[in-house]
Structure 1
């Protein structure tokens, strides 16, 4: 069941899995992605390992507050908000949940938010897991093909959006694992029906680009940290994961051959095992 919490002056939509007495685990999703991109089965696997799992929509995604009045940011213009604000949203959501601190897992832009949360609110993060992310937008630039997908014109109409999703994941997904076209279409359809706001994605991208590099600040992070990254990621190449792990004292890096910029089902057991090892230490 989706619940909304009033946090940081906006509404954040979230869902939870597992026992409230479990280890608190917050899942932070990436650019333009909704909470449903954390697959229910994946969330249940984490819950089975003793976690109380919460997945949520960042601002400008899904059922959380959208900043429609800001439109699409002009190139070079100041963004309406930064990753700092997204991290503050996350800390405020933890307040609403009654969590003094939590284990935080972020994917892609979610990893950037999780990193920023650990920097800005160090006492709120028990452990940090950064998946297919980077300490800064210029650390590991995307390939030409991946950049074209990222900056491409949004499709119009439900069927066109579903087809565009298949084309996108064909470029940035995991070449070492079979691409499930039907699952991609189904997930894209769910996301479209739940909320379709390309301008919101553009505002999130502006936040990423306007937030600069976190490498030096990550040296302040003292919590146990895990970095998971695909060796075949064209959107945030593996250099981004290596840079993240190098920047955080004591961070453990695990890379996966054949993994691109997605979370292949075949690797879920490994992801869950690695996260659980970190949170239960």
Structure 2
């Protein structure tokens, strides 16, 4: 599905079904440097279980035009604009990593527009190492290597994907390699600069599920639990052995954690 948001053409996957703005809407928000493809199984499941789905490529990512948005708050504003452009009155937001911060910020500042959130691989703060930022700024492939090595849990390197035929680490690398120069650095900088996650969490009044990886080296579980504690009534799911890329490493477990808890 193609939309024009803020003057730029945007692509959003709809889970294999025609988009219907009258159905409960779920918007899936990808992480730094990635695109809609990470949500393939999730978007399809929700689209075939009574929801409408938008899994957009953020501006400058994947098949979407325009320049990357440089702040988490700006991405949150854009997400609400995407929803409105699609003709929906409200949405449930599911995000991974950077996308989870975007969902959190949007839910805090647009309470009338957001009906629930699913936050995957998220924390009370998401600082990015100086080495990773420097490599991303230089468009050095070492940045992609670092994201892969630090992002995937130990067992992901051994195989055993829950999605048959999926080569987890190398699949992630191929997506990042196709990201335009400067986009990964812009995204990582936005995460690094976002300092108000706990303030946003205190404003959340809708159902919230946080799904955290026990072995997450990029956003440690301790930080995720701190964020969960700041959201009144939140539900916390810990996936043993999973790393930061748990949406790819453990798709069946993540979908199970989300499926029954995204409100209609």
Structure 1 residues 49 and 266 mapped into 2: Cα distance closer, same or farther (>3 Å)?
Answer: farther
Give secondary structure in 2 for the equivalent of 1:134: coil
2:125 corresponds in structure 1 to: 136
Greater Cα offset, 205-214 or 114-123: 205-214
* TM-score normalised per structure 2: 0.83
Q: 2:185 aligns with which of 202, 205, 209?
A: 202
User: Taking structure 1 as reference, are residues 99 and 149 closer, same or farther at Cα in structure 2, changes over 3 Å only?
Assistant: farther
Which deviations, in whole Å up to 9, do the C-alpha atoms of 1:164-207 show, x marking residues without a partner? 75664233202244544845434543554xx4323122122222
Task: Output aligned runs, 1:218-257, within 5 Å.
Answer: 218-257=201-240
Q: What residue in structure 1 maps to residue 55 of structure 2?
A: 55
Q: Which residue of 2 aligns with 1:170?
A: 149
1:90 aligned residue: 79
> Structure 1 CA distance, aligned partners of 2:44 and 2:93?
16
Q: TM-score, normalised by structure 1?
A: 0.78
Aligned residues, how many? 255
Correspondent of 2:170 among 180, 185, 194: 185
Cα deviation, 1:111-148, whole Å, max 9, x if unaligned, reads 000000001111111111110012333xxx57xxxx47
Corresponding position of 2:11? 13
1:262 is matched with which residue? 245
CA distance in 1, matches of 2:176, 2:249: 23
Report the secondary structure of 2:255's partner residue. Answer: helix
Q: 1:99 aligns with which of 88, 92, 101?
A: 88
Q: Cα gap change, 1:12/1:238 in structure 2, threshold over 3 Å: closer, same or farther?
A: same
Contact 1:170 1:179 in 2 (8 A): no
**Paired position in structure 1 for 2:135:** 153
Q: What is the rounded CA distance, in whole Å, between the counterparts of 1:185 and 1:176 in structure 2?
A: 14
Q: How far 1:229 sits from its partner (Å)?
A: 0.4
SS at match of 2:246: coil
Which shows bigger deviation, 29-38 or 174-183?
174-183
What is the alpha-carbon distance in structure 1 between the residues aligned to residue 117 and residue 135 of structure 2? 34
5+ residue gaps, structure 1: 69-79
Distance 1:42 1:238 in 2: 23
> 1:46–1:166: structure 2 CA closer, same or farther, 3 Å change rule?
farther
The runs of 5 or more residues in structure 2 that have no matched partner are 160-165
Shift of 1:35: 1.3
The alpha-carbon deviation at position 84 of structure 1 amounts to 1.0
| Kept after mapping to 2: 8 A contact 1:227/1:253 | yes
What SS class does the counterpart of residue 228 from structure 2 fall into?
helix
Measured after TM superposition, the shift of residue 232 of structure 1 is 0.2
